[in-house]
A and B are shown apart, each in its own frame.
Chain A
Amino acid sequence: MATLEIDRVRKSFGSVEVLKGVSISIADGDFLVLLGPSGCGKSTLLSMIAGLESVTSGEIRIANDVVNDLPPKDRDIAMVFQSYALYPTMTVRQNIEFGMKIRGVQPAERAKATLAAAEMLQMKHLLDRRPSQLSGGQRQRVAMGRAVVRDPKLFLFDEPLSNLDAKLRVDMRTEIKRLHQRLGTTIVYVTHDQIEAMTLATRVAVMKDGVVQQLDDPQVVYDRPANTYVAKFVGSPSMSLIPARLAVDGAGAVAVFDIPNEKPARISGIPIAKENATKFNGQNVLVGIRPELFTVSDGKPGRTISVHIDVVEPTGPDTLALFQIGGVEVTARVPPKTVEARKSATLTVDTTKIVLFDAVTEDRID
Chain B
Amino acid sequence: MAANVRSRHRQHATGRALIYGGLLCLAAFYLMPLWVIITTSVKHLDEIYAGSFIGLPKEITFDAWRSAWSEACNGTACKGLKPYFINSLIMVVPAVILSTGIGAINGYVITKWRFPGSNFIFGILLFGCFLPFQAVILPMAQTLGFLGLAGTLAGLVLVHTVYGIAFTTLFFRNYFVGVPDELVKAAQIDGAGFMRIFVSIMLPTALPIIVVSCIWQFTQIWNDYLFGVSFTAGENAPITVALNNVVNVSMGRKEYNVDMAAAMIAGLPTLIVYIVAGRYFVRGLTAGAVKG
Contact = CB atoms under 8 A, between A and B. Distances in A.
Interface string A66-103: 00000111000111011111111110000000110011
Interface stretch (B24-32, B63-71, B100-108, B183-191): B183-191
B292 interface: yes
Given A72-B188, A73-B188, A85 B292 contact: yes
B117 interface: no
B205 interface: yes
B104 to A, nearest CB: 15
A89 B204 contact: yes
A73 B204 contact: no
A84 B292 contact: yes
Contact of A103 (B180, B188, B191, B205): B191
Nearest to A156: B189
Contacts of B200: 87, 98
A73 B187 CA distance: 9
Contacts of A71: 188
B180 to A, nearest CB: 6
A88 B205 contact: yes
Interface in A124-139: 131-132, 139
Given A99-B191, A103-B191, A85 B186 contact: yes
Which of A71, A89, A90 is the most central at the interface, judged by chain B CB atoms within 10 Å of its CB? A89
B291 interface: yes
A85 B185 contact: yes
Contacts of A103: 191
Nearest to B188: A72
A72 B189 contact: yes
B201 interface: yes
B290 A88 contact: yes
A72 B182 CA distance: 14
B205 A81 contact: no
B205 A79 contact: no
Interface string A40-65: 00000001001010000000000000
A71 B190 CA distance: 11
Interface in A210-237: none
Interface string B37-73: 0000000000000000000000000000000000000
A84 B292 CA distance: 7
A135 B254 CA distance: 68
- Where chain B touches its partner, the secondary structure class is helix
Interface residues of A, number: 27
A307 to B, nearest CB: 50
Contacts of B201: 87, 89
Contact of A99 (B190, B205, B290): B190
Given A86-B292, A89-B204, A81 B186 contact: yes
Contacts of B182: 81-83, 85
Contact of A85 (B180, B191, B192, B196): B180
Nearest to A86: B292
Contacts of B196: 102
Nearest to B206: A89
B228 to A, nearest CB: 38
A150 to B, nearest CB: 8
B193 to A, nearest CB: 9
A50 B292 contact: no
A190 to B, nearest CB: 13
Contacts of A77: 189
A102 B205 contact: no
A158 to B, nearest CB: 9
A79 B186 contact: yes
Residue of B188, B191, B291 most packed against chain A (CB within 10 A): B191
A102 B190 contact: yes
A73 B188 CA distance: 7
A79 B189 contact: yes
Contacts of B204: 89-90
Interface in B193-220: 196, 200-201, 204-205
Contacts of B190: 73, 98-99, 102, 146
Contacts of B188: 52, 71-73
Contacts of A102: 190-192, 196
Contacts of A52: 185, 188-189
A185 to B, nearest CB: 15
A88 B292 contact: yes
Contacts of B180: 83, 85
A3 to B, nearest CB: 20
Given A88-B205, A89-B205, A132 B189 contact: no
B292 A83 contact: yes
A188 to B, nearest CB: 13
Interface in B98-132: none
Interface in B221-245: none
B189 A50 contact: yes
A131 B190 CA distance: 17
A79 B204 CA distance: 23
A50, A99, A146 — which one has the most chain B CB atoms within 10 A of its CB? A99
Interface of A: 47, 50, 52, 71-73, 77-79, 81-90, 98-99, 102-103, 131-132, 139, 146
Given A83-B182, A88-B291, A132-B291, 6 more contacts: A72-B191, A79-B189, A83-B180, A84-B292, A85-B185, A102-B191
26 contacts: A52-B185, A52-B188, A52-B189, A72-B191, A73-B188, A77-B189, A78-B189, A79-B185, A79-B186, A79-B189, A82-B182, A85-B180, A85-B183, A85-B185, A87-B183, A87-B186, A87-B292, A88-B205, A99-B190, A102-B190, A102-B191, A102-B196, A103-B191, A131-B292, A146-B186, A146-B190
Interface of B: 180, 182-183, 185-192, 196, 200-201, 204-205, 290-292
Query: What are the 3 A-B residue pairs with the smallest beta carbon separation, nearest first?
Result: A99-B190, A73-B191, A89-B204
